[in-house]
Structure formats: C-alpha cells, structure tokens
Structure 1
Amino acid sequence: MTYSCRRFRRSVLLGPSAALAVLAAAGCSAGDAAPSVAVPTPSPEEAAYCEALHKELPRTVTGLERSDPGPESVLTAGWGDGAIVLRCGVPRPTKMDDAQSKAVDADGVNWLLEQRGDAGPRFTTTYRKAYVEVTLSTAYAHDITPLSAFAAPVRKTVPDSL
C-alpha cells in the first residue's frame, strides 16, 4: 500500500500495520490526501477580487463537496479532492492571443478552453479584471456543467475588463 500525507512530500511504501502506525503518529489519515496546487501571485487589486470571489464560492459543485487544496489560500479552492480546482489571479494565458483558440460561455461568463493532453480541460475567464482558472479532471473532459456553478460568483465579484 502507498500512503501519503500532506506533511510529507514523498510517498512511503509500508505494510498495512506499519503504515497505520506511521499515519497515526503523523496526525493524518489515508483519506488526507488533498491535492497541492501552485498559489498564484496576483496584483493587490486582483487579489482583492479573488478574496471576494473566495467568499462567494459554492459548498458543492455538481454534487462534489468542497475540499480545498493545499497550501491554504483565498486564491485557490477545490471540490471532490481535486476533481475540480479553481485558482484566482492567474497570469493571462498566452493561448488568448491565438485567434484559433476556443471559448465557451457558461451563464454569462466567457471561458477560454485549453485541452491538456492526458489531463482534463482547463478553463480561464476572459474579459475580467482578474483571471480565474478552473481545471477539471478527465471525468469532465466533455462537460462544462461545473462552470455554471462559478458564473454567478465570478459575475458578482470580478468585474468585466471591457
């Protein structure tokens, strides 16, 4: 069995009894494997929009409970242990300069779509004063339904840039 804990960066291969003893001593459980994401470094103005957005984010998205990734930040949020991850204040994607890039509209919020090979899709808001990025697991490879849960909070807290 392989167990990992947020406090340790490496996985440890142990027998079941030894693994449980190590986990108990470390103060975590086999279910304590929340994903880790890079925290953006936006400008102070963008960070203020992101903090407001963080307060408005839903507790559930498509039936998945909120389970924020580490490290804890008002610039990141997650649902379903990494199935859906939101980062606010990300840099403007260079793909937005490509006239052939694809976008989708979800309840009045426009999102740039980037397919990521073996990973699920990544969406980034367009025409907003702060860029909000949502990555979806491969389970949502052909489904933009989760974006609808973010439309009202984004419209309410992150102004249009036009």
Structure 2
Amino acid sequence: MLVLPALTGLLLGIAGCGTVRVPAGPAASDPLCAEIVLGAPHEMLGQPRAETSSQGTVAWGSGDDTVVLRCGVAPPGPTTDACTRLGDTDGIQVDWIVREQDGIVLLTTYGREPAIDISVPRAVAPDQPSAAAMDMGRLIDATIPATDHCVGPGDVE
C-alpha cells in the first residue's frame, strides 16, 4: 500500500514574492523532471502558472486553489488504491493512482520512473480533477516511458 503524504502538506502556501512552497521529490533532480517542468503548460484548469520553491515542481494558482505537480516522487509499488488509465483520442495513455483526502485529489503516475504526482483541490475542479492529469498526459508519455500498467481483478487469471 502506498503511504499517503499529508495531501494538505503539499500545498504549503505562498512564501514571499508569490512563490509557492512545494517540497521536492527525492528524484527531483532527474533530467526527465527538468523536461516535464520546462514542457508544462502556462495555464492549468484556468489557473496561471506560479513560481515554486523547489526543483522538479510546477504550480498553478495561489493559496488554497493551487494545483501542484511534483516530478521525482517515489514510484508507487503494487497497491489496492484506485488506479485508472487516462487517455486521449490520439492513443496517449498514462496510468494514475488516484486518492482523495481533505478536498484534494492526488494523482500519481503508475509504471513510470521518475514518478509524478499532481494535487488538485476540488475547489478548482469539482467535477473533473483528472483534467490536470489529462492535460499533462502527452508530455509525460513523450518524456517518461511506461514500464508497467495498472491491473485490476479482470486482468488477472
């Protein structure tokens, strides 16, 4: 089972000069994380991109309505948490472990290393917090190859 970080701890707030304080993942210095950060969109779920305090991180918005991406988090192992494959019409597919706590949805890539997590406050996307993961899918798929996929009871003999 995956150890849940304190989801609310991911959104540490705003430091001086509008910088969003975000803890870096243990592998945030991976060169693939630099590609993810550089390729991340300037806007996410209607929120403008904000400066962050740590390598391998991106944020959009401010205060309690901040969407945060962290690249280089610990890759999740097998889990009983919900795991879903999000794809687009071009066949791009990325598997995500999905958890929710205290009004924040945390999506973590499954089967990719370095792993990425995206925290989305329900207040920002009450109906579809997975839209942030969908927006990042093409960049993640092009940058970090999949080595494993989600499986469910119907996938196992």
**TM-score (norm. length: structure 1):** 0.69
CA shift at 1:119, angstroms? 3.4
- Please tell me the residue identity of whatever aligns with 2:61: G
Q: Give distance in 2, aligned partners of 1:72 and 1:43.
A: 8
Counterpart residue number, 1:138:
122
Change (3 A) 1:66 1:5: closer
CA shift digits 1:57-85 (9 cap, x unpaired): 1111122111132x142x00011125210
RCO comparison, higher one (Cα < 8 Å, 6+): 2
Q: Which residue of 2 aligns with 1:98?
A: 79
* Unmatched segments (≥5 aa) in structure 2: 1-12, 88-92, 149-157
How many residues are treated as equivalent by the alignment?
127
1:159 match: 145
Distance 1:80 1:5, change over 3 A: closer
**What are the superposed Cα offsets for residues 44-65 of structure 1, whole Å, 9 maximum, x if unpaired?**
6xx1111111121111112211
- 1:108-144 CA-to-partner distances (Å, cap 9, x unmatched) read 111100111x131101001112100000112235411
1:123 is aligned to 2:107? yes
Distance 2:96 2:23 in 1: 20
Larger radius of gyration, structure 1 or 2? 1
TM-score by length of 2: 0.71
Cα separation, partners in 2 of 1:6 and 1:112, compared to 1, 3 Å: same
Match of residue 84 from structure 1: 67
Q: Deviations over 1:16-62 (max 9, x none)?
A: xxxxxxxxxxxx5xxx3x43111112186xx1111111121111112
CA shift digits 1:75-114 (9 cap, x unpaired): 0001112521000000134xx4333x10222221111001
Task: Tell me the CA shift for residue 160 of structure 1.
Answer: 1.4
1:58 corresponds to: 41
Task: Tell me which amino acid in the other structure corresponds to 2:83.
Answer: A
**Any gaps of 5 or more consecutive residues in structure 1?**
8-27
* Residues 59 and 5 of structure 1: CA distance in aligned 2, closer, same or farther (over 3 Å): closer
Indicate the RMSD between aligned Cα atoms, in angstroms.
2.2
Answer whether contact 1:68 1:76 (CA < 8 A) is retained.
Answer: no
- Residue 139 of structure 2 aligns to a residue whose secondary structure is helix
- Bigger helix fraction: 1
Match of 1:67 among 50, 59, 81: 50
| Counterpart pick for 1:6 among 15, 35, 41 | 15
